[in-house]
Amino acid sequence: MPTSPFYPNYINGAWQSANPSETFESYNPAQPNVSIGTFQASTAEAINQAVLAAKQAFPAWKALPAPKRGELFFKLAAYIATKKEAWATEMATEMGKPYAEALGDVQEAIEMATFMGGEGRRLHGFQTPSEFPNKWLMAIRQPIGVCGIITPWNFPIAVPSWKLFPAIIAGNTVVFKPAEQSPLMGFRMAEAFDAVGFPAGVINLVQGNEVAGKAIVNHADVGLISFTGSTATGTWIATRCAEQHKLCALELGGKNACIVWEDANLDLAIEGLLWGAFGTAGQRCTATSRLIVHRSVKKAVVEGLLAKIPSLKIGNPSLVATQVGPLIDTDAVAKVQRMVATALTQGATLLCGGKRFTEPPLHEGFYFQPTVLDDVVPTMEIAQEEVFGPVLSVITVDSLEEAVAIANGVRYGLSAAIYSQDMGLAMGVVEQLEAGLTYINAPTIGAETHVPFGGVKQSGNGHREASNLVLDTYTQWKTISIETTRTLRKAQMD
């Protein structure tokens, strides 16, 4: 019998009563015997109810003028600001992100709510001259209808805010399924919408695993799926959406490289590598997982990293000073362990880490040692596939051409960085990098909400989140032609 509190689904503005035969629990990855809460494992029936509520709420929500919708977002931003510390505390215990980082995760949602509130007054279309006098041509944005929003656990407030807020400001209604590893954060998000008075049915929260996710993707009344997660799941979603002629926006994996050039400020590069590779215990799609370093500075960079890693504060994510928390679950530990083992059999050299912590006090949680692998070559699995853990692979190069070719020689293209004091050289490299996000003299993580976020190649399907361009995902253009002359005039012919 679950002993932790039950947090219900939220459908059509009402908190649903529990169906006790279909529940699951969320656990603290730092203390896996501690349950955070009990949640509904939503079935296809619950998804049907949520989609119906969203469908019925859509016409009135679409009809509410966007500046009025925006006013609710300013209230939402203010509400979330009052919850910042409380949510960060819960986030640290539910998914293991250190408290200081968790504050940043919530801050991202506050910024996104303010930003999208403003977009309520700027859902611009455009007007353009016609071929004919006294004919008017314009194009306006229209919402899609019901959007299915499926989000990951690693940014359990920020990433939902990147999807829910633009979808809803644009006039869509949503069915929101947070990851089953961070359902409490999803519950808090729905609670915020409820508290500030969004109308019933505009946002519907359904908890659960892939049963719920698949039911959303397969539902005929859902017009768009927005998903952040693994490339494998993204492939399945894209295929199903194609079969149903459903729109889909995907943010998927990364194999992000940081190039450290011979003229780099090495102290700055080392600091950036530590944060990029080991922040969030490497569990970011933007995490730095490859260090591509010029041979002349390799020894200095690697020695600098190895000197600093022992002083990283690894431990209880709820403590303000903690810098690295646990991985999310046993599967994550097993995957990282297996990928490190494979790298070693393929010829990589272990410089530090490589194992789960087995000594008290970290032995209980899913803590993995910050790991640096040397002698990595681009053909190894560790140089090609996403680890989603605190593992940095070192690849040594002699020329810029080689560095760029290796950086680009993976199926992913999310984030990339270069450290060099020569801005011309750095810009030349950035121009060639196959990545949606690029950084000069900064790590591969840390995107801001008002610039486009997303990747090329298999890191996504071409959509961008954040910035005002995110509205392209959640709206469709409608062209309006107005003939004012009471005559038939034929375009391309008269």
Catalytic residues: 251, 285
Stretch that binds ligand UN1, among 337-345, 359-367, 443-451, 486-494 (CB under 6 A): 443-451
Count residues near ligand UN1 (CB under 6 A): 9
Q: Is 445 exposed, middle or buried (0-12, 13-18, 19+ CB in 10 A)?
A: buried
Closer CB to ligand UN1, 61 or 153, in the complex: 153
Least CB distance to ligand UN1 at residue 10 (A): 24
Least CB distance to ligand UN1 at residue 437 (A): 7
Closer CB to ligand UN1, 255 or 284, in the complex: 284
Task: Single out the residue of 285, 362, 392, 397 in contact with ligand UN1 (rule: CB under 6 A).
Answer: 285
Closer CB to ligand UN1, 219 or 284, in the complex: 284
Quickly list H helices, 97-253.
99-119, 158-169, 183-195, 210-218, 231-244
Least CB distance to ligand UN1 at residue 416 (A): 12
Closer CB to ligand UN1, 143 or 253, in the complex: 253
Q: How many CB atoms lie within 10 A of CB 271?
A: 15
* DSSP for 431-442, written as a single string: HH---SEEEESS
Residues 238-277 that bind ligand UN1 (CB under 6 A): none
Least CB distance to ligand UN1 at residue 154 (A): 5
165 binds ligand UN1 per the rule CB under 6 A: no
Residues pairing with 248 in the sheet: 225
Stretch that binds ligand UN1, among 143-151, 280-288, 293-301, 342-350 (CB under 6 A): 280-288
Stretch that binds ligand UN1, among 62-70, 111-119, 176-184, 283-291 (CB under 6 A): 283-291
447 binds ligand UN1 per the rule CB under 6 A: yes
Task: Single out the residue of 286, 318, 322, 323 in contact with ligand UN1 (rule: CB under 6 A).
Answer: 286
Measured in Å, how far apart are the chain's first and last C-alpha atoms? Answer: 77
Closer CB to ligand UN1, 112 or 333, in the complex: 112
Residues 369-408 that bind ligand UN1 (CB under 6 A): none
Closer CB to ligand UN1, 146 or 273, in the complex: 273
CA 396 from centroid of its chain's CA atoms = 30
231 binds ligand UN1 per the rule CB under 6 A: no
Stretch that binds ligand UN1, among 60-68, 137-145, 181-189, 441-449 (CB under 6 A): 441-449
In the sheet that holds 6-7, the strands lie side by side as 6-7, 31-40, 23-28
What are the backbone dihedrals phi and psi of residue 77, each rounded to the nearest 5 degrees, phi first?
-60, -45
Least CB distance to ligand UN1 at residue 163 (A): 12
Closer CB to ligand UN1, 155 or 198, in the complex: 155
Report the C-alpha gap between 42 and 319 in whole angstroms: 34
Stretch that binds ligand UN1, among 74-82, 153-161, 296-304, 469-477 (CB under 6 A): 153-161
Q: Are the C-beta atoms of 109 and 159 separated by less than 8 Å?
A: no
Least CB distance to ligand UN1 at residue 71 (A): 27
Going from the C-alpha of 217 to that of each of 299, 352, 386, 486, the distances in angstroms are: 49, 42, 25, 46
Report the C-alpha gap between 56 and 41 in whole angstroms: 24
Stretch that binds ligand UN1, among 140-148, 178-186, 416-424, 442-450 (CB under 6 A): 442-450
154 binds ligand UN1 per the rule CB under 6 A: yes
99-119 and 158-169 helices, crossing angle to 10°: 10
Report the C-alpha gap between 174 and 167 in whole angstroms: 8
446 binds ligand UN1 per the rule CB under 6 A: yes
Q: What would the x/- binding string for ligand UN1 be over residues 401 to 440, using CB under 6 A?
A: ----------------------------------------
Report the C-alpha gap between 426 and 449 in whole angstroms: 24
Report the C-alpha gap between 332 and 154 in whole angstroms: 12
Q: Is 392 exposed, middle or buried (0-12, 13-18, 19+ CB in 10 A)?
A: buried
Residues pairing with 226 in the sheet: 149, 249
Least CB distance to ligand UN1 at residue 308 (A): 20
Q: Are the C-beta atoms of 122 and 468 separated by less than 8 Å?
A: yes
Those residues with Cβ within 8 angstroms of residue 7's Cβ, 6 or more apart along the chain or in another chain: 37, 38, 39, 183, 184, 187, 207
Closer CB to ligand UN1, 51 or 158, in the complex: 158
Stretch that binds ligand UN1, among 187-195, 265-273, 279-287, 369-377 (CB under 6 A): 279-287
User: Does the N-terminal peptide bond of residue 166 adopt cis geometry, omega within 30 degrees of 0?
Assistant: no
Listed residue (209, 164, 141) closest to 54, CA to CA:
164
Closer CB to ligand UN1, 42 or 151, in the complex: 151
Q: How many CB atoms lie within 10 A of CB 141?
A: 18
Least CB distance to ligand UN1 at residue 276 (A): 9
Helix, strand, coil content of the chain in percent (nearest 5): 40, 20, 35
Q: Which residues of this chain interact with ligand UN1, rule CB under 6 A?
A: 154-155, 159, 284-286, 445-447
